[in-house]
Structure 1
């Protein structure tokens, strides 16, 4: 190949690329004039077009094949997003239910934590007679609680609820 043929092919390639990217009417006219000025120019331009067309068909087939795989992938992403939204909603709803339940329990028995940690407690409407380890007795009225602490110096009774 002579340098002029190489240059002609490069020019044909450049014109082809320029015309594929929204050419102006002046660019089209200049390309037409270049192609008509020499039969080798037109042949080179047609060769570039032929190569483009030949490579477009496999690319199109590949794009069609890949579009099915891409569609499956995109569907999986959408489903995962739906699952994430559902999971977030479920966690939020569970947290709200837990807060409501905690509020109801607190309104029912605001000292339930103290009752749970107390050595001895009596519920609403209950009276208890508790005998301690040293033999002493404590009478618990309704809705009350206390802790007992035994030391070498003696016994301590801490009234938590009265």
Structure 2
């Protein structure tokens, strides 16, 4: 059995790491540690409650405030020794403060194939993650930054004029004060679509980089390499492109080849279009992103297409 004092120390370290932002793996480790013993939960919750009540948890995210807090603690007269957990927590906070200053570590959020996830950031912003998406986010008193490493995300950014919200997509950036927009990244190809508000899309930082593009409501920009194409769209098209937030795919007369690619993003079962003539068939309608079987049945009944299965692969042809 782990000694009580060691449990207090571990709880203090987890509390400090949680305030700094936990990755998915770290959150799973913390959950497993809490679930392993009622004593673990009691120590963690007691520590968390004590510091929240004292109004000191904000120091975890602000090295200057933390330094002042620790200095006050050192100057204050002590009539009795500090509990072991308080000493452990102070040490843990000092480590976190130094780490946060030298090596900022964004929180990491990710989704698997077919998974969607709503992320609530500490500044009040909310981000919907689509299938196979990886996002990192760092919120601080000085700024708000996120990195879309892959996939697609819809941002509902809380307005804060003193802290612009910046999203990095490879060597491009999107900067915004408060708005709703989506970003889709496929390698070096980026699509930014604005549902509300105003954003600025900047290209790579180089002498030959294109000028930043300002996007407003119902505008979209496509970026590939050093090229950026801006165009206007309609509110309906924006809504259709965001239908994935409701678990749907909405197609407006796109090719079967492109429709298959979209379905393949959301499912382990992969659609393969067998020939160019079949690939060029135009598809329109609303479909459940995770229901490949229903889509294939509709293709067979509406177009008389041949469907051949081989494990997780479905080949479609005339």
Normalized against structure 1, the TM-score is what? 0.33
Query: Larger C-alpha radius of gyration, 1 or 2?
Result: 1
Bigger share in strand? 2
Bigger proportion of residues as helix: 1
Q: Which structure has more RCO (C-alpha within 8 Å, separation ≥ 6)?
A: 1
